[in-house]
Structure 1
Amino acid sequence: MAWTLTRDEGRPPRIAPVAGLLGGLVPAFTLPGSSVPAGSLVLGAAIVNFCRLPDRCTLEVVDKQAVHEDFERARATFRALLDDATDRQLRRRSNGTRWNNRQLLFHMLLGFLIMRALLGLARIMARLPNWVGRAWAGVLNAGTKPFDVVNFLGSWLGGTAVSRRTMVVLCDRTIAALHQRLDRENQRSLAQGMPYPTRWDPFFREFMTVADLYRFPVQHFDFHREQLSLT
């Protein structure tokens, strides 16, 4: 696998996979025969455990341009929604939530604002054993009710206190930063990921890659856009 990587995918020096291959072959041919069955069982168990989590055994080819285009569509739509709505429309109750339209728009923006934290956490968890991520997701799932309260109050407060102009500026700057960050990613880094608390959001899955995280804010945005009652 390391030998077939390109430079864009973070290929190590060619000597690295050669050294790794030799390091594996030498013990394989020098160990006593009695150790082969036990070693095979350990290897098999490791492979099964590694493949239990989704997306760990495949390297998805991510269309970064499509993600960029979705970011720009959401940015333009967000600006248009705020520019075109009257104060009365923004104070109107949204469909299916306890927020008014302005508070719901801030919640839609929040999906982009939290991306820096989500991406940073994914980088950390990807370096830790799988059980750490699963335990973390379990703890967060157990705290769903307090999260729901904080989630509601945060969007209520933000949508009440933050001006339209500030929301537009925050959206523009945040999405611009996400564009730059996505440009620095390669297919290998986009395939990293961690378990997520599925009770926190309908778009959170048991395991999400960094590529999934880049798609999340637009999915979140489009879902809640249907709940606006501006017309």
Structure 2
Amino acid sequence: MGDRSACDRQAVFDEYTRARRIFHALLDDATPADLALPTRGTRWTNGQLLWHMLFGYLVTRVLLGLVRVFSRVPQSVSKGFAGVLNAGTRPFDVINYLGPCGAVKVLGPRRMGIAFDWITGSLERQLAKESEHDLARGMHYPVRWDPFFQDFMTLADLYRYPTRHFDFHHRQLTFGERR
């Protein structure tokens, strides 16, 4: 990320299609016991981590909106905003952990699949409408919040972000591994 070159829209569309296929395969094959298994390297269960993977796409819509605002003001404003968010990393981490714990109980696997299709479709439609000029707009991000956030990210970077987040967490799932 952080590449200021033109966005390869087709590559992003292909990434979203691949993620949708994987997400639905995981949901379709998951038993309640699979969803309750602990994951590798997190305190979440498989079901909770699946919700967190979906959340990466949901939060991208919010991040795209922030770029549209912060890219119109001096960079020092977004740098200051990112600094404030970095200072609030501990409360963010608690909320980031607890959110999936409750959300997975509300949505459940079927609704998570529907939400995944809706959000990736929404992001695809938005990306198709973006101008090259807009895709080059960016802002500073709180790098302590997520390993895939860079100090400065463009809209083009953000469209790639959720699938990178998804792929990272996909490797932490433990479906079929009985402990």
Partner of residue 92 from structure 1, selected from 37, 46, 49: 37
AA of the residue aligned to 2:156: A
- Aligned-residue offset at 1:88: 0.4
CA contact (8 A) 1:102 1:160 kept: no
Give the match for residue 40 of structure 1: none
Partner of residue 67 from structure 2, selected from 112, 117, 122: 122
Report whether the alignment pairs 1:197 with 2:142: yes
Partner of residue 89 from structure 2, selected from 131, 144, 155: 144
CA contact (8 A) 1:109 1:171 kept: yes
CA contact (8 A) 2:4 2:154 kept: no
CA contact (8 A) 2:51 2:100 kept: yes
AA of the residue aligned to 1:182: L
SS at match of 1:173: helix
Percent sequence identity is 49
Gaps of 5+ in 2: none
Larger-gyration structure (1/2)? 1
CA deviations on 1:40-74 (whole Å, 9 max, x unpaired) are xxxxxxxxxxxxxx96xx85121110001001110
Q: Which has the higher contact order (CA 8 A, sep 6+)?
A: 2
Give the match for residue 158 of structure 1: 103
CA contact (8 A) 1:85 1:230 kept: yes
TM-score, reference length from structure 2: 0.95
RMSD: 1.3
SS at match of 1:114: helix
1:8-87 correspondence to structure 2 within 5 Å? 59-87=4-32
Give the match for residue 168 of structure 1: 113
Q: Distance in 2 between matches of 1:172 and 1:139?
A: 33
AA of the residue aligned to 1:161: V
CA deviations on 1:108-162 (whole Å, 9 max, x unpaired) are 0000111211100000000001110110000000000000000001111112332
AA of the residue aligned to 1:68: F
SS at match of 1:163: helix
Q: Distance in 2 between matches of 1:176 and 1:66?
A: 15
Q: Distance in 2 between matches of 1:185 and 1:156?
A: 35
Give the match for residue 101 of structure 1: 46
Gaps of 5+ in 1: 1-53
- After TM superposition, which residue ranges in structure 1, 4 or more long, deviate above 2 angstroms? none
Q: Distance in 2 between matches of 1:124 and 1:69?
A: 28
Partner of residue 206 from structure 1, selected from 140, 146, 151: 151
CA contact (8 A) 1:198 1:206 kept: yes
CA contact (8 A) 1:137 1:195 kept: yes
Pairs aligned (count): 176
CA deviations on 1:193-218 (whole Å, 9 max, x unpaired) are 00000000000000000011000000
1:210-225 correspondence to structure 2 within 5 Å? 210-225=155-170
Q: Distance in 2 between matches of 1:177 and 1:202?
A: 24
CA deviations on 1:56-104 (whole Å, 9 max, x unpaired) are xx85121110001001110111011010111101101111100000000
